[in-house]
């Protein structure tokens, strides 16, 4: 078979070009610490890395949801404990009214209960980051609106929220809610904080009744009616306090699991995409040696061929 004169130079140039490309790629890997510079370097690894990066972004959204929900749950918990103090004081006044009290003392108790109603409405109208905590999904509206008479006594407290609870995703297929409706008289769905027909809870109306009985000096009605009513309100409120604490604990657990998964994915991405520096430097040295050897041997062969031709 006849070999043309330019066969060897062409082959040498091809080999030098390949070695030069390899040198460049290894230089980039050593400089950036990344094994993959372009998709064609390792298509399957690139696909895996992209999938894991998408997963990390999803986890980031879950973490954001969890953080916002935890903050809201903490604020709700603080409001619930404040409302519990209002209820505790009302129960204390109910107990004290059962003793031998003058009508003047009972009226003083009644005025304090009236202030407790106003405080309770203020607590339940707490807003967090522009949204009312206890309006259900109608968070743009203050949940409770009170009506007062000329004497400044609260005569009614109306709920203008709804009994629905917004759900947010905190993990793959895992949703939960930190929304707590202030009232629920539907007999189903999330429990209402102030009013819940299933629990016999109707705190504001019960406090109004207590206030009116104190003003009227109707001590028997306080003992027979108001005391068990406030006991039902207390049981309902304590359940909410417990649920709120459990919700915060669940969110903290979800956050820890998300952070664990995030770290695991970052480690996997590093294993796929990061270059082994020691191995990369060794390969770079070997490639540089091969490149120099190719230049030297190619130079000798070409020189000898030219001399033979001149002879």
Classified as helix, coil or strand, 11 is helix
Domain ranges of the chain: 52-266, 277-311
Gyration radius (Cα) of the chain, Å: 38
Q: What's the full length of the chain, in residues? A: 311
Which pLDDT band holds residue 276 (cuts at 50, 70, 90)? very low
C-alpha to C-alpha distance for 23 and 288, rounded to whole angstroms: 7
Average pLDDT, stretch 57-76? 95
Phi first, then psi, for residue 189 (nearest 5°) are: 85, -165
Give me the phi and psi of 3, to 5 degrees please: -105, 125
Comparison of pLDDT for 294 and 85, the residue scoring more: 85
pTM assigned to the model: 0.75
152-202 confidence digits (pLDDT tens)? 999 999 999 999 999 999 998 899 999 999 999 999 999 999 999 999 999
- CATH 1.20.1330.10 assigned to 52-266: yes
Q: What residue has token string 């430097």? A: 281
């Amino acid at each position: 078979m006849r070999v043309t004169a330019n066969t060897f130079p062409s082959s040498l140039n091809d080999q030098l070009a390949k070695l030069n490309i390899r040198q460049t790629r290894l230089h980039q890997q050593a400089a950036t610490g990344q094994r993959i510079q372009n998709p064609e370097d390792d298509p399957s690894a690139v696909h895996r890395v992209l999938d894991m990066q998408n997963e990390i972004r999803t986890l980031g959204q879950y973490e954001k949801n969890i953080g916002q929900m935890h903050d809201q749950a903490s604020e709700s918990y603080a409001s619930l404990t404040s409302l519990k103090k209002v209820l505790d004081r009302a129960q204390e006044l109910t107990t004290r009214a059962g003793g031998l009290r003058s009508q003047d003392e009972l009226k003083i108790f009644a005025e304090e209960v009236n202030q407790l109603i106003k405080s309770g409405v203020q607590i339940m109208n707490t807003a967090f980051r522009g949204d009312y905590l206890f309006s259900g999904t109608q968070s743009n509206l203050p949940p409770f609106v009170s009506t007062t008479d000329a004497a400044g006594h609260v005569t009614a407290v109306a709920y203008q929220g709804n009994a629905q609870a917004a759900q947010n995703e905190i993990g793959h297929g895992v949703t939960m809610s930190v929304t707590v409706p202030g009232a629920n008289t539907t007999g189903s769905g999330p429990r209402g904080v102030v009013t819940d027909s299933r629990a016999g809870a109707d705190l504001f109306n019960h406090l109004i009744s207590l206030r009116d009985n104190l003003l009227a000096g109707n001590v028997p009605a306080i003992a027979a009616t108001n005391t068990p009513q406030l006991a039902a309100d207390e049981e309902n409120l304590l359940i909410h306090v417990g649920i709120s604490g459990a919700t915060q604990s669940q969110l903290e657990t979800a956050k820890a699991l998300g952070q664990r998964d995030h770290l695991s994915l970052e480690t996997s991405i590093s294993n796929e995409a990061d270059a082994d520096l020691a191995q990369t430097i060794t390969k770079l040295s070997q490639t540089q040696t091969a490149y120099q050897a190719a230049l030297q041997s190619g130079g000798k062969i070409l020189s000898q061929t030219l001399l033979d031709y001149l002879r």
